[in-house]
Homo-oligomer: A and B are copies of this chain.
Amino acid sequence: MSVLIVGTTALDSIKTPKAENPRLLGGSASHAAVAASFFSPVKLIGVVGEDFPKKYIELYRRHKIDLSGLQIVPGKTFHWSGEYEVNMNNRRTLLTELGVIETFTPHLPETHKTAQFVLLANIAPALQHHVLDQMARPKFVAVDTMDLWLNIALEDLLRLLPRVDCFVLNDSEAHQLTKEDNIFAAMKKIHKLGPKYVIIKKGSHGSILSGPSGHFICPAYPLQDVCDPTGAGDSFVGGMMGYLSTARGSIEKNFRRAMVYGSVVASFCCEGFGLNRTTKIKRADIDKRVRELEKLTKF
């Protein structure tokens, strides 16, 4: 089954202590879509301006991403610029040019409305609502977010949570939302806001699931060299949804493995700037790291 993904489609200018890369393909939907494409057909919902490089359209196409829901409109593509500190954990935004995303309204082609797996990747909660409003009856909906929406669109987000099956956020966002320092206490509170599955991402420490069958401690793949973590969280949730949409059997049965697959795609994402590394791997490379993670966690 295919995965419908809405989120930002952006140009990212990323500076790390080692290098600087201007106007790479970025945005939550780009990362999530490429990640999901290793497992299942992807329908992308987003917007770009007329300045959007053709090579990035080609890149989406090479990943067999359905672009009939991608709007190309007059104006400039959303542009984000950020800089990482030496330890790669802290980043600061240097520049945000919203461009065409400022007036974006997602329109779903008819063929998209019956998608069964929906990923509301990081974008304004109002737009995430707008996509769900157009859907027939999806089987599984996951939503990702960021601190910005907790600050400026909390009500929209809180109205969204009862509408989704899975809420993915990172540890600092979970703390911001619940005021809980303890991750397990935070997840308990977040379940009460609606979602059956809650995933808290902890960067290089992996992620934790709280679901109907209890918790799952999902490992991160060990990396000795992190080049650029931008998009790792989007790759995680994209890979997870891609795997989940094609795996046989119940969602509950496949959920843990789906997270591990997402975790592995995220590890590749961190090894290159933007999507540079992720777009060079094959499904077999992912499978290999999943097998390694099995060995790395067995006792």
How close is A270's CB to chain B, nearest CB, in angstroms? 11
How close is A286's CB to chain B, nearest CB, in angstroms? 14
Judge if A63 is at the interface, Cβ distance under 8 Å.
no
A185 to B256 CA separation, bound complex (whole angstroms) = 28
For A64-88 the 0/1 string (1 means CB < 8 A from B) is 0000000000000000000000111
Residues of B within 8 A of A204 (CB): 183
How close is A102's CB to chain B, nearest CB, in angstroms? 36
Judge if A205 is at the interface, Cβ distance under 8 Å.
yes
Query: Once the chains bind, are B223 and A184 in contact (CB under 8 Å)?
Result: yes
Majority-rule SS of A interface residues? mixed
Query: Once the chains bind, are A297 and B296 in contact (CB under 8 Å)?
Result: no
Nearest B residue to A87 via CB reads B181
Judge if A153 is at the interface, Cβ distance under 8 Å.
no
Judge if A18 is at the interface, Cβ distance under 8 Å.
no
Residues of B within 8 A of A87 (CB): 181
A257 to B298 CA separation, bound complex (whole angstroms) = 9
Query: Once the chains bind, are A256 and B298 in contact (CB under 8 Å)?
Result: yes
Q: Which of B88, B222, B224 contacts A217 (CB 8 A)?
A: B222
How close is A135's CB to chain B, nearest CB, in angstroms? 29
A260 to B259 CA separation, bound complex (whole angstroms) = 22
A223 to B217 CA separation, bound complex (whole angstroms) = 13
Query: Once the chains bind, are B215 and A182 in contact (CB under 8 Å)?
Result: no
State which residues 251-277 of A face B: CB under 8 Å: 256-257, 259-260
For A192-234 the 0/1 string (1 means CB < 8 A from B) is 0000000000101110100000111111001111100000000
Residues of B within 8 A of A216 (CB): 296-297, 299
Q: Which of B181, B208, B225, B296 contacts A215 (CB 8 A)?
A: B296
